[in-house]
Structure 1
Amino acid sequence: MNTNHPSKIALVTGGSRGLGKNTAMALARKGVDVVVTYYSQKAEAEEVVREIERQGGKAAALQLDTSLVSSFDAFAASLREVLTAIWNRDSFDYLINNAGIGMNTPFPSTTEEQFDTLMNIHFKGVYFLTQRLLPLIADNGGIVNISTGLTRFSIEGYSAYASMKGAVEVMTRYWAKELGKRGIRVNAVAPGAIATDFGGGTLRDNPNVNAHIASITALGRAGQPDDIGGVIASLCTDEMGWVNAQRIEASGGMVL
């Protein structure tokens, strides 16, 4: 790493496991320092920090409930303290809104509680967390929102989940327009089906589900975390500096 230039810093929500962890490690390999948030898995998040430090980068972990808007001011204050203590900065460069849960529930039986849970985590929380963090995001930085392939193709049971992500994609374009005056780029990455513990790990652990996903994917297999983290990290580089307001699907060509 070139020590003549201060490192860029990224904040990855939900960075203790799955795609968030993979993204954090991919950013570190590009020389970007990382703050990861975790909801309950503190030990796993701290291990991600240690892995990044072993690679020569700097990292930190902070607890965050992305569904609880009332906690965001306190989180922003904690983040500011960490940025000052570790990096001697009062800002960071890239926000990756990754934290989320999977939920497959048929439309006729979806409850209001399930709907509200998905909305608070995937849409309302993302909207207001980003709003609260805007004073801490450096000019000429970037925001990457995580969407899903399910906004383009439909699979039964995901009407509420995919609708929240569809809202995120529209929001992404509006943010890009409004934050462009600060040089902040905003894009959405839409993964296809990825074999992680997301949604209970069904794709990873059920051979029949895995084989079905492979059969409807042009590249002939289900996705892995390593297929996604690098895509997200690449948007946090100068080479991608003219990419803005885009939905980038990383699905291997699902349901073409």
Structure 2
Amino acid sequence: MFSVMKMKIIRMLKIIIGAAGYVWCIIPVIFSGIINAGNGAGLLFFGVLFLWGAFQNKLNSAADKFKALKVLRGVLIAGYCAFTLLFTVESVLMINAVNTAPSEGATMVVLGCGVRGTEPSQMLRLRIDAAEEYLKENPAMKAVLSGGQGDGEDISEAQCMYNELIKRGISSDRLYMEDRSTSTRENIAFSKEIIEKEGLSPCLAVVSNNFHLFRASLVVEAEGLTFGAVPAFTPYPLLFTYVMREFLGILAQWVAG
């Protein structure tokens, strides 16, 4: 009796978590037009989980008759357990990175992202908001604005951030533009060149969205700099999509060495 009840609870949890997760992953697609590896993987993960729960009884009955299905069920269980463990560990590391306070006298490095023509994308605007607030709280701090010009961008990400911060009252003599980078690794490496040339502190206050800071911290430390975080807010409906994308990116980075 207890075993039957336990199986029913597990089945319902799969259905509920699968459906809720699927909705969370599809919201960015429908309302923001965001399609990336994060929501693609999330839709697959939660869609399979939902179907697994919905057809659990039939799958179990079939697995008792066919060895191949029994193996498939075992692979699914092992895969979901491994994924959940890795995702949990990485989420803890992400939270730890977000809570790493910058050292006193640190140099700010603002990591760029998409520009729409000459205007900041939603994520870039959130980073600019965080940079503005922190620079006003620390009037002696200098900032390197890092980001090159990509497809569909009329100006570089660095120039876009510079324009916005000047509009918001940040003095130009506190800002340095790094406008060649096309990746997080280049963001930090090229910003390091400016920091060394200008004699700025190698202790960084890295501004990026909260989900991105752990990966940024790995690059900062690989460059021999000291990491500190200035997290920019990420809207909750978009959070899982971007966390999942970061998870896949970091996983690929670790596998590649």
Q: TM-score, normalised to structure 2's length?
A: 0.37
Higher share in strand: 1
Larger relative contact order (Cα-Cα within 8 Å, sequence gap ≥ 6): 2
Q: Which structure would you say has the larger Rg?
A: 2
